[in-house]
Each structure stands twice: as C-alpha cells, then as structure tokens.
C-alpha cells in the first residue's frame, strides 16, 4: 500500500499519535476595520469600527486622538447583506 504524505497541510497529533487532517475552519462572523490617520505621525491606525465618540491610540507613536464614530446601522447593514460573512466565502451564496 502506497502512503501519501502531504507535509504542508496542517496536522495535529492525537494522544494515540495518529495523524489527523484538520478541516479548514469557516469564519463565524466578521468585523470591519477602519483606518484612522494619526494626526501626530500619519500612521493609518486600524480600529475596529468605533460606533461611539471615543479616543483612539496610535500603535506606532502611542499618542491618543479623538475619533469620528462610524454609523452602527451601516455596520449592521454590511453584516446583514453578507449574512455575517457567509456570503463572502461561498461564491454560490444568494
Ligand atoms: Zn502616531
């Protein structure tokens, strides 16, 4: 019997040392990242859809600055039309 080894696929070792292929995992949802340009250093700081007025912190220069919030209804709309991400991974999804 010929055994095929595909070393680059993700493998886990179980307690009995048998190898088992992991089935690729589908996303359970998605979030929208917005890029806010830091007024101090110009870095586009990625932030997870701030829906209320708040302060953001630059991950490069560590300084804080106030953020214009995004509309929560717009975020909900995007999640609805993509069925919480399902439509993004399935080309046949309608
Ligand atoms: Zn900065």
Task: State the Cα–Cα distance between residues 73 and 49, nearest whole angstrom.
Answer: 11
Residue 17: which region, alpha, beta or left (left: phi > 0; alpha: psi -120 to 50)? left
Q: Are the C-beta atoms of 9 and 21 separated by less than 8 Å?
A: yes
Cα-to-centroid distance, 53 and ligand 1 (Å): 19
* Domain-wise residue ranges, the chain: 27-89
Cα-to-centroid distance, 83 and ligand 1 (Å): 35
Task: State the Cα–Cα distance between residues 46 and 70, nearest whole angstrom.
Answer: 13
Is pTM beyond 0.75? Reply is no
* DSSP secondary structure string for all residues of 29-45: ----EEEEE-TTT--EE
Region 30-50: what's the mean pLDDT? 97
Q: Are the C-beta atoms of 27 and 89 separated by less than 8 Å?
A: yes
Cα-to-centroid distance, 18 and ligand 1 (Å): 49
Region 50-55: what's the mean pLDDT? 96
């Amino acid at each position: 019997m010929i055994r095929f080894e595909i070393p680059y696929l993700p493998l886990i070792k179980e307690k009995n040392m048998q190898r088992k292929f992991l089935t690729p995992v589908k996303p359970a949802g998605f979030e929208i990242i917005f890029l806010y340009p830091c007024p101090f250093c110009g870095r586009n700081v990625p932030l997870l859809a701030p829906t209320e007025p708040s302060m953001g912190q630059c991950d490069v220069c560590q300084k804080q600055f106030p953020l214009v919030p995004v509309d929560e209804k717009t975020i909900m709309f995007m999640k609805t039309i993509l069925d919480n991400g399902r439509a993004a991974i399935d080309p046949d999804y309608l």
